[in-house]
Structure 1
Amino acid sequence: MEREEVVAQIVMDYRDVNVRGVERELSVPERLNVRKAVAITGPRRAGKTYYLLQRFSEVRKAGKAAVFFPLDDDRIYPPTLEDLSALVKVFYELFPEADEKYLFLDEVQEVQNWELFVKRVVERDGFRVYLAGSSSRLLSGEIASALRGRTLTFELFPFSFREFLRAKGFFPGKYLSTKDEGRIKALLKDYLMFGGFPEAVLLDDEFLKRKTLSEYVNVMLYRDIIERHGVKNLRAVRLFLKLLMTSFAKEFSVNRVARYMKGMGVNVSRNTLYTYLEYFEDAYVVFIVKKFSYNLKEVEKSIPKVYIVDNGLVTTYSPRSGESLGRLMENAVFLELRRREKELYYFKDEREKEVDFVVTEKGEVSELIQVSYSLSDPNTFKREVSALVSASDKLNCDNLTIINWSREDTIEAEGKEIRLVPLWKFLLGVVRRDSAFVSPEVH
């Protein structure tokens, strides 16, 4: 069979694909006013291919001219630029009179110099191109470099709690019964422990969940870090990942870690560890949050806090993390804020009073958020409230929230109002309006 015929066969295999499953919440505009490709990035196994198929299916159902093409298909592997040119020829044979033209390219990084093709069909031929690929070879920084301003990048993470509930077949309405609320909280504990990677969410067996998530960690470590960057000191990078995972939702001092590893007999420099940290960030394994300051130099020099891309990776890699429910809650809150594209810092004053999240908009502090599992202990309650009030004065922000497991209230402390919000309501996007809680529509 000629190469062009093989390309056409693959196109036809996907032409009328019917995608079923959980609808993802990633908000990508269908119509763009500028000629740019849309790139979907994120961690491995988060559902980028499924999302691409989902969008392709929607476009096809609307009667528009579109083709989906997986460039890791064994029938054309390894793919070439000639295959992509053949794809365009097949497209025009299928849709000779098309005004709106869509190409959905999965695993595009498999083609050497793919960016030259994308640039041509976007700018010269007027195609709307959607891209997705392996996180180890199609990272946001590389896309920006390859296409030089000709792309818009959107991040897709593992399931949010809203998506998680839908995957479990639970669709909470505007009003909840006591039974519904109890079920949400039970599912929330499962979400906090095993996270939102789609494949793991759909597994019922706990052993298989752990096994699957453990494999994810190994693939991220070996393919996205060791193989991609040619890391030779395997012992050091493995131990460093373990320390990152066990330090989630805590300050993470690379200098202190370097001394610790030296004491363990692992010879690695601070600069190398900083490089490893950048690798793990690029691969969407970890995120760092800097300490807030109005002085940018102080921000850059601050010891960061570390968060992990999914709670399931944490509990699988570090089984004892299940004992730290408050930190798992904090990691989940971070991920939700990241999905909402918030600019985040933490805050700690000279008396070591810490606020978990400082949310900023256009350089101004817009909200201060604490996360605590329980507020029933008087000392814990006093500590959380005191830190918020102190930071409120210093940062001139009166929008104060404590996210906890179940308490819902508005309290006053030193003349400031503080909202107490249950974690499940925060994760579901529930907002307060005139003392009645309403869940906004999710698109």
Structure 2
Amino acid sequence: MVETIKSIILDFQESRMETGVPRRLHIETVHGKAAVFIGVRRSGKSTYLFQVIQRLLDRGVPRQNILYLNFFDDRLHNLRQHNFGLIAEAYYSIYPEKKNAETVYCFFDEIQAAPGWEPFVDRLMRTEKCEVYLSVSSARKLSKEIATQMRGRALSWEIFPFSFREFLDYKGIESEGALSTKKRLLVQKSFTEYWETGGFPEVAGLGRNLRIKTHQEYFHTILFRDLVERHDISHPKAVTDLAHWLADNTASLYSINSLTGYLKSLGHKAPKSAVSDYLEWFEDAYFLFTARIFDPSLARSNTNPKKVYCIDHALVTSVSSGILVNSGHLLENLVFTALRRLHPEIRYYRTKTGREVDFIVSMRGGTRLLVQVCESLAEPRTRKRETAALSEAMAELGLKAGTIVTRNEDERIETGGGNIEVVPAWRFLLELPESTE
């Protein structure tokens, strides 16, 4: 096994890295803590690791001081808790002079594929002169295992598929500062493309059929690798049927009871506890997200119906039946993922009279952002309904501003208690900050 690991290490050091489009993720490493990158499969975590490696090389770090292993490599399949020490043994048998003398930069990609890795990383950081970077496709790996096994020796960053700004970077379109008429038209045209293709880096530039095929492959890999295999699910068809229902009902309300009833109607014997687990595992894999109602009472927040969103609006169109999903729901999903990149807790709001506002986000510094999503306000009844819900929520929360995100409309509506900004989606996405810092 040592010889195999040695050849993998040397192969990487001689290979050419594909660093892709620079991501707009700014990380800071802390001595004695592993940097962990977490996100859905195919969101660009490996490429981001390569970007970090390239920055180290540009700083003058020798290539020999980079130790990179991808745990999806079949040759590492037999690595388990009892023989992780072979990694350090293999590396230092190639470079014995570096042990305790030079910093070694360790990059372990998709490390959740190797059971029992946490104590190894913890020990490596305590006993060797090294910096450690990890990528994982599971939130639970981070929150539970790392917290207990690594005793706080990790800082984590989320990696999502391309944001609209990153998509513009991929297209080579400058999005900073004031936009000239020509640049604005280019940005709007690119938004139409982003609307069609979504943010997964691999599908950018693909034709429609290939894009759908690729999205469907992601969908099945997430289901079977991240759910069925990882959690040893004995009824995979129930999970698949549930995933399809949730994709079909993106941006809609659900309850555990209604989902359990739905699976029962298909002949699945999945109890409520199992359905609850499935949902948690979908979130764990960064495939689906839930938004709870905004309520000071945790009990009420948990018992009220929740809304479901997918990691990528275009993935929804590729895997859903197309019967229930409409473009208004997809626009709402797109806005949700843009907000979720910045804030872990996105809620929906219900006014005292029962009107609903799609998103309320608690910002740093105690301010709150209210966002309603509506494809178009051209129809007077729609306009009245959306503005009434938002202005009512603004009054209840004591806010002077609210936002309605549309496909193309742009105006300011003055209400008795403040202003409602109506903005096209492309501009809303560009005006969001790149981070919460």
**What TM-score comes out, normalization by structure 1 length?**
0.88
2:398 to 366, 372, 396: 396
* Aligned position for 2:57: 60
* Aligned position for 2:317: 315
- For residue 328 of structure 1, report the CA deviation from its aligned partner: 1.1
Unaligned ranges ≥5, structure 2? none
- For residue 241 of structure 1, report the CA deviation from its aligned partner: 0.9
* Aligned position for 2:12: 14
* Aligned position for 2:429: 427
Alignment of structure 1 residues 34-433 onto 2, 5 Å: 34-64=31-61, 66-72=65-71, 73-74=73-74, 77-79=77-79, 80-89=83-92, 93=96, 95=98, 100-135=103-138, 138=141, 140-203=143-206, 205-320=207-322, 324-341=326-343, 343-361=345-363, 364=366, 366-429=368-431
Change (3 A) 1:76 1:392: closer
- For residue 83 of structure 1, report the CA deviation from its aligned partner: 2.6
Read off the aligned partner of 1:158 and give its amino acid letter. P
Instruction: Using the TM superposition, name which of 189-198 and 173-182 deviates more.
Output: 173-182
- For residue 371 of structure 1, report the CA deviation from its aligned partner: 1.1
Read off the aligned partner of 1:22 and give its amino acid letter. V
Q: Residues of 1 paired with 2:154 and 2:38: CA distance? A: 12
Is the 2:118–2:145 Cα contact (8 Å) retained in structure 1?
A: no
Read off the aligned partner of 1:15 and give its amino acid letter. Q
Q: Residues of 2 paired with 1:260 and 1:111: CA distance? A: 35
Instruction: Using the TM superposition, name which of 94-103 and 226-235 deviates more.
Output: 94-103
Instruction: Using the TM superposition, name which of 89-98 and 380-389 deviates more.
Output: 89-98
**Identity of counterpart residues, as a percentage?**
36
- For residue 255 of structure 1, report the CA deviation from its aligned partner: 1.0
Q: Residues of 2 paired with 1:367 and 1:173: CA distance? A: 23
2:23 is paired with a residue whose SS is coil
Q: Residues of 2 paired with 1:307 and 1:265: CA distance? A: 26
1:373 is paired with a residue whose SS is coil
Is the 1:342–1:360 Cα contact (8 Å) retained in structure 2?
A: no
For residues 95-118 of structure 1, give each alpha carbon's deviation from its aligned partner in whole angstroms, at most 9, with x where no partner exists.
468555421122333444322221
For residues 356-395 of structure 1, give each alpha carbon's deviation from its aligned partner in whole angstroms, at most 9, with x where no partner exists.
1111146955111111111222221111111111111222
Change (3 A) 1:392 1:91: farther
Instruction: Using the TM superposition, name which of 7-16 and 327-336 deviates more.
Output: 7-16
Q: Residues of 1 paired with 2:35 and 2:287: CA distance? A: 22
Change (3 A) 1:180 1:363: closer
1:144 is paired with a residue whose SS is helix
Q: Residues of 1 paired with 2:328 and 2:247: CA distance? A: 15
Change (3 A) 1:134 1:300: closer
Q: Residues of 2 paired with 1:442 and 1:342: CA distance? A: 11
For residues 146-174 of structure 1, give each alpha carbon's deviation from its aligned partner in whole angstroms, at most 9, with x where no partner exists.
32321112111111111112223333453
Read off the aligned partner of 1:222 and give its amino acid letter. F
Instruction: Using the TM superposition, name which of 386-395 and 358-367 deviates more.
Output: 358-367
Q: Residues of 2 paired with 1:210 and 1:21: CA distance? A: 22
1:428 is paired with a residue whose SS is helix
Instruction: Using the TM superposition, name which of 52-61 and 94-103 deviates more.
Output: 94-103
Change (3 A) 1:259 1:156: same
- For residue 406 of structure 1, report the CA deviation from its aligned partner: 2.2
Read off the aligned partner of 1:117 and give its amino acid letter. F
For residues 23-66 of structure 1, give each alpha carbon's deviation from its aligned partner in whole angstroms, at most 9, with x where no partner exists.
1122211x41x521111111111111111111011111101354
Unaligned ranges ≥5, structure 1? 432-439
Is the 1:46–1:156 Cα contact (8 Å) retained in structure 2?
A: yes
Q: Residues of 2 paired with 1:378 and 1:285: CA distance? A: 36
Q: Residues of 1 paired with 2:350 and 2:200: CA distance? A: 32
Read off the aligned partner of 1:236 and give its amino acid letter. A
Q: Residues of 2 paired with 1:396 and 1:294: CA distance? A: 16
- For residue 299 of structure 1, report the CA deviation from its aligned partner: 1.3
- For residue 340 of structure 1, report the CA deviation from its aligned partner: 1.2
Q: Residues of 2 paired with 1:296 and 1:71: CA distance? A: 40
- For residue 70 of structure 1, report the CA deviation from its aligned partner: 1.6
Is the 1:139–1:282 Cα contact (8 Å) retained in structure 2?
A: no
Q: Residues of 2 paired with 1:268 and 1:111: CA distance? A: 29
Instruction: Using the TM superposition, name which of 405-414 and 133-142 deviates more.
Output: 133-142
2:322 is paired with a residue whose SS is helix
1:229 is paired with a residue whose SS is coil
Is the 1:41–1:153 Cα contact (8 Å) retained in structure 2?
A: yes
Instruction: Using the TM superposition, name which of 314-323 and 242-251 deviates more.
Output: 314-323
* Aligned position for 2:23: 24
Is the 1:373–1:404 Cα contact (8 Å) retained in structure 2?
A: yes
Q: How many residues align?
A: 430
Change (3 A) 1:442 1:345: closer
CA RMSD, 1 decimal:
2.8
**What TM-score comes out, normalization by structure 2 length?**
0.89
Q: Residues of 2 paired with 1:442 and 1:179: CA distance? A: 30
